[in-house]
Structure 1
């Protein structure tokens, strides 16, 4: 079951973060203030999709990687605390703060400072999740058809 859940949950998480990032950039560059308010208000609601998908990807990844000594598995494991910490310590608080500020229509310097930090942290997570997906695809090509934990 983890073999099926892991790539689906990982793809959903990556697509969700990518959608948040692109929505933010496009609304800021091309949209009205009302669109920025809508995007910033909706992103925290997207956590209802993002957080469970990240948890499912992480949990199933731990289960799949158990007992593996492949260097790609080790690299993926090292990225996950960075991805999780970035999300918990930077991205979620930033999104909540920006949502609050946008709903109050307070687009001051702090809004844009936090927005910049959020975009950088989001780009980092997109990059790290993309690398994990790439490495996961490499692992599935190398892995025998049967679940062999000795690889």
Structure 2
């Protein structure tokens, strides 16, 4: 079951974070203040999708990687604390703060400093999750059968 859950949950998490990031950038660059308020208000509601998908990806990944000695598994394991830590310590608090500030239409220096920090941490998480997906695909890729090359 973990073999089915892991790639689906990981893809949902990556797509959700990417959607948050792209929505934020596009609303800030091309949208009105009202659009920024809407995006910043909706992102915390997206946690209802993001957090369970990250938990499912992490838990199923832990189960799948148990006992593996492959270097790719080790690299994926090392990325996960960074992904989780930045999410818990930076991204979630930033999203809640920015939602509160946007709903108050308080687009001050504090808003933009936290917005910049959130975009940087989000880009890092997108990159790390993408690398984990790439490595996961490498781990599951079918290897060609060995051929007998003796004559």
Both proteins in one fold, TM over 0.5: yes
Structure 1 position 60 matched with structure 2 position 65: no
Describe the SS at the equivalent of 1:21.
Answer: helix
Partner of 1:114: 114
Partner of 1:80: 80
Partner of 2:23: 23
Aligned equivalents of 1:114 and 1:137: distance in 2? 34
Relative distance call for 1:66 and 1:142 in structure 2 (3 A) is farther
Partner of 1:94: 94
User: How many residues were matched structurally?
Assistant: 144
Shift of 1:142: 5.1
Partner of 1:134: 134
CA-to-aligned-CA distance 1:15-67 (integer Å, 9 cap, x gap): 00000000000000000000000000000000000000000000000000000
Shift of 1:143: 7.1
Relative distance call for 1:143 and 1:2 in structure 2 (3 A) is farther
Describe the SS at the equivalent of 2:67.
Answer: coil
Give 5+ residue unaligned stretches, structure 2. Answer: 145-151
Aligned equivalents of 2:143 and 2:101: distance in 1? 48
Give 5+ residue unaligned stretches, structure 1. Answer: 145-151
Task: Give the alignment's Cα RMSD to 1 decimal.
Answer: 1.1
Describe the SS at the equivalent of 1:107.
Answer: coil
Larger radius of gyration between Structure 1 and Structure 2: 2
Shift of 1:83: 0.1
Describe the SS at the equivalent of 1:93.
Answer: helix
Aligned equivalents of 1:50 and 1:64: distance in 2? 21
TM-score, normalised with respect to structure 1 = 0.94
